Amino acid sequence: MLVTGGAGYIGSHAAKALCRAGYRVVVYDNLSAGHRGAVRYGPLVEGEIGDVRAVREVLRHHGIFAVMHFAAFLDVGESVRDPGRYYRNNVVGTLGVLDAMAAESVRYFVLSSTCATYGDPVETPMTEMHPQRPINSYGETKLAVERALPHFLRAHGLRSVALRYFNAAGADPEGEIGEDHRPEIHLIPRAIGAASGGGGLQVFGDDYSTPDGTCLRDYVHVADLADAHLRALEAMVEGKGSDAYNLGTGRPHSVREVIASVERVTGRTVPWTLAPRRPGDPATLYAAPDRARGELGWAPRFMDLDAIVSTAWNWHRAHPHGYEGV
């Protein structure tokens, strides 16, 4: 089983889930954003996803039958500033993986996609039938790959499942792996960092049409995301056709609620300042996860925000500098 981007946040948790389920895992990563210390559940092969020859060699050498693809750039703001970088990596690089799979007759592909393919919400909660109109290069690149997948099915018999995450959060409940982005862009670890004496937290806008004026988002635990990837793979192996699924809890939480949760869990104050709204931030964004529940049998175990934050806090306390020194 090949996990591209398996040294990263969600990829490493998927690698653990696969290993626990009895699969032999091989991680393929260039370590540009991932961490060698996060690779604990199978060998690491360093390489570029756009290097078709190298990917083919890995597939052939290790007898790979399926690929979980996490290797992608994911900073929305950076994607707006440097769209070419995102198209080269997220689209051209992924096509390299798909070409290598087709050449080596590897037939199962699970794509780490995103709710950013939807763009501004027309309605909430968002189902898989929601219009896909991305408003940034990150969402556009993920949608471009989603749109390529039916063509690879027709041409090469390559089955695929695209999993559209909402807000990934938390860390391995057993504390073995966690979240370590450089720079950190996610709210929960930034709030934990602020509570731990790091830089202060900025809250972007408090005048939205929400109960407390701050944005509402759907925080889904990373271990639950990993479980969904495993279920998607096994559904394909058992004969299910290609499809796409939303992954979220269906319960949105505001920025203020996240700050309050971090304060409860840590017992510390989260210093924050108010900043203007960011362009393109919708007031409310959360999933209708019913299709994944019904067709994959997937149900998030971590429905409580404090429980999600607790796993992130436990990882941060044990690894205040992330994977440095691991």
For residues 45 and 58, the answer to whether their CB atoms sit within 8 Å is: yes
> Where is pLDDT greater, at 140 or 325?
140
**Band of the pLDDT at 65, cuts 50, 70, 90?**
very high
Gap between the terminal Cα atoms of the chain = 25
**Is pLDDT at 321 greater than 80 in this prediction?**
yes
Q: What residues contact residue 215 under an 8 Å CB cut-off, 6+ apart?
A: 204, 205, 208, 254, 255, 281, 282, 283, 284, 285
Q: What was the pLDDT predicted at 74?
A: 87
pLDDT of 242-262, one tens digit each?
999 999 999 999 999 999 999
Dihedrals φ, ψ of 50, to 5°? -80, -5
**Is pLDDT at 273 greater than 70 in this prediction?**
yes
**Is pLDDT at 99 greater than 80 in this prediction?**
yes
Q: What was the pLDDT predicted at 282?
A: 87
Residues 51, 54, 60, 63: what is their CA dihedral angle, to the nearest 10 degrees?
-90
Residues forming the active site: 138
In the chain, what are the domains?
A: 2-169+220-247 (3.40.50.720)
Q: How far is CA 268 from CA 91, 225, 260, in A?
A: 42, 29, 10
Element (H, E) at 247: strand 243-247
Rounded Cα–Cα distance for residues 10 and 5 (Å): 9
**Is pLDDT at 325 greater than 80 in this prediction?**
no
Distance of CA 167 to the CA centre of its chain: 8
